[in-house]
With several copies, the nearest count.
Chain A
Amino acid sequence: MEMSKVNADNRAVIEDLSISFPRPGDEDLLVVEAVSFTVGVGEFVAVVGPSGCGKSTILRVLSGLLSANGGTVLIDGQEVSQTPDHVGFMFQKDALLPWATIDENITIGAELGGVPLEDRPALVASLIDMLGLAGFEKAYPKNLSGGMRQRVSLGRLLAYQPTLMLMDEPFGALDYQTKIRMGRELLRIWEAERRSIIFVTHDIEEAIRLADRIVVFSARPARVAAEYIVNLSRPRNLSEMRGNAEFNRLTHAIWSDLSMPT
């Protein structure tokens, strides 16, 4: 409690977190071990780490969907015991309601985010437009491509308007161009509304392009292998960045962090 006062600027504080899953007929699977990191108010933190190391699991704990085995998780200074308010979670799977149209799926975010009734249609329509899904308002999820579904899921998160956004590989199924456009839109919203973001990705360039800070996890059990502040001025342009020394240094450092044998 006092802790949060000390770091009044932290939206999320993860301290010495450890998580393990029971396995029938075997010892528990230790997935996360003594992980600590923080997310400041208005900070954009990218998370990278090997597949299966525990990134999604940490997000599940942050959103109150899963209980940790040890450690502290504070959001806005409060211990997380159930889903905290204003925290939105975009799952790795799209988790769309199959019986709801695209319109309705996104509207759910707006409804639960407390968007006033009269503002919802306009908000949803503008999101659909931004996501490049115009014309598919009345389609059902099964009639969309994988990338389109991911965008609907993104739209739902944005319609929910959380102040802390937990995003689990949100652009994984998108092509480069769409990815970059979506990233730009995300940054626009983030900057305009001083939101905090935890952004899991496998794309190191993307992490550098978007984030203020990058947390690198080791292979399972996840430990914080390294943390990097991205000292690049915004707006960042990928083709310009490629020549930038800081960009190359970061890329290389994260690369070698991830290639460490475990």
Chain B
Amino acid sequence: MASVDKVTPMPPGRVRLGSIMPLSSVAARRLILFFALVAAWEFTAEFLVNEFWSSRPSEIVMRLFSMLVDGTLWRHTSITVLEAFAGLLLGAVVGTPLGIWLANAPKASETADPFIMGLYGLPRVALAPLFILWFGIGLLSKIMMSFTMVVFVFLLNSREGVRTVDPDLVDLMRSMRAKSLYRARKVLIPAIVPWILASFRLGIGLSLIGAVVGELVGSSRGLGWYIQNAGGMLDTTGVFTGLVVLMVIAMLANQMIALVEARVLRWR
């Protein structure tokens, strides 16, 4: 039986972390997909559907360029990003501890649960008058709008996350009389990191939606304002330019989460 030195190709037990090479191939595949989508869009606008409905990429690029030059792009984008980011952060900071607390206080959780869920289902647009009354029409009201969209995601996901924590690890901590803060640091938080990351991914989109909805009810700038303004004038290119910018923001934010994830979940 001759010895064979070549590695037998067998399916690896765990997926290995991508090296530089696969990463750049991901980028390449994304670019291909991107251009395919853009081409399909342009084609549709050219031959299939009146561009009144969906504008077309070439016009959007031109609009983006002119907005970049005259500064309106930055003017609208910066404020929306600020609102969404603040709302997202606030949602995480408030929702996660609340979720953890509720998971550990089953009585309070059970009691409050229907009310929390009831609030969550309210359409924020309908609450606009109250938001204006409570938070004015400045930055705060948009941040709160964004916050109220995302806080529930963090709350529910982290509560569910705590419930999936390996009970043996909790017992271990109890058997060593670990204080609850220590327990949270060593067991709870690491265990719910996947849930928190999932919340961030879900929260990005929702916080942007919240910010935009907030801008619909009291603003003079921001991407939501810009889109509404364009919509009011049946300026489809304007609407889609705003939407494209929102998409790009969501994509970038999501990539940042992916980077954090790769660092934080190395143990997995």
A residues whose Cβ falls under 8 Å from a Cβ of B: 3, 6-7, 13, 15-16, 22, 60-61, 63-73, 79-83, 85, 87-89, 91, 93, 95, 97-100, 108-109, 111-113, 140, 142, 160
Complex contact A68–B267 (CB within 8 A)? no
Residues of B within 8 A of A160 (CB): 176
Residues of B within 8 A of A16 (CB): 3-4
Complex contact A83–B8 (CB within 8 A)? no
Complex contact B1–A15 (CB within 8 A)? yes
Complex contact B176–A3 (CB within 8 A)? no
Complex contact B267–A140 (CB within 8 A)? yes
Q: How far is the CB of B196 from chain A (nearest CB, A)?
A: 13
Which of A15, A67, A98, A99 has a CB less than 8 Å from the CB of B4? A15
Residues of B within 8 A of A7 (CB): 1
* Distance between Cα atoms of A64 and B171 in the complex (Å): 10
* Distance between Cα atoms of A169 and B6 in the complex (Å): 31
Complex contact B176–A109 (CB within 8 A)? yes
Q: How far is the CB of A106 from chain B (nearest CB, A)?
A: 12
Complex contact A13–B1 (CB within 8 A)? yes
Residues of B within 8 A of A112 (CB): 176-178, 182
Q: Is the C-beta of B70 less than 8 angstroms from some C-beta in chain A?
A: no
Q: How far is the CB of A74 from chain B (nearest CB, A)?
A: 9
Complex contact A85–B177 (CB within 8 A)? yes
Q: How far is the CB of B184 from chain A (nearest CB, A)?
A: 13
Q: A3-B1, A67-B9, A109-B176 are in contact. List 11 more A-B contacts (CB 8 A).
A: A3-B2, A64-B10, A66-B13, A71-B4, A81-B10, A81-B11, A91-B175, A95-B166, A100-B186, A112-B177, A112-B182
Q: Is the C-beta of B230 less than 8 angstroms from some C-beta in chain A?
A: no
Known contacts A22-B16, A97-B186: A68-B7 contact under CB 8 Å:
yes
Residues of A within 8 A of B16 (CB): 22
Q: Is the C-beta of B187 less than 8 angstroms from some C-beta in chain A?
A: yes
Complex contact B176–A88 (CB within 8 A)? yes
Which of A82, A91, A93, A113 has a CB less than 8 Å from the CB of B10? A82
Q: How far is the CB of B28 from chain A (nearest CB, A)?
A: 24
Q: How far is the CB of A245 from chain B (nearest CB, A)?
A: 35
Q: How far is the CB of B123 from chain A (nearest CB, A)?
A: 37
Q: Which of B4, B167, B172, B190 has the most CB of A within 10 A?
A: B172
* Distance between Cα atoms of A13 and B191 in the complex (Å): 36
17 contacts between A and B (CB under 8 A): A15-B1, A15-B4, A63-B175, A64-B174, A65-B171, A67-B7, A67-B12, A83-B177, A89-B172, A91-B172, A95-B169, A95-B171, A97-B169, A97-B186, A97-B190, A100-B190, A108-B176
* Distance between Cα atoms of A87 and B13 in the complex (Å): 17
Complex contact B8–A68 (CB within 8 A)? yes
Q: How far is the CB of A161 from chain B (nearest CB, A)?
A: 11
8 A-B pairs closest in CB distance? A67-B10, A16-B3, A89-B175, A3-B1, A99-B190, A112-B176, A99-B267, A66-B13
Which of B9, B12, B266 has a CB less than 8 Å from the CB of A66? B12
* Distance between Cα atoms of A70 and B2 in the complex (Å): 12
Complex contact B172–A95 (CB within 8 A)? yes
Complex contact B3–A15 (CB within 8 A)? yes
Complex contact B8–A64 (CB within 8 A)? no
Which of B9, B177, B268 has a CB less than 8 Å from the CB of A81? B9
Residues of A within 8 A of B5 (CB): 70-71
Complex contact B175–A65 (CB within 8 A)? yes
Q: Look across to chain A and name the residue whose beta carbon is closest to the beta carbon of B12.
A: A67
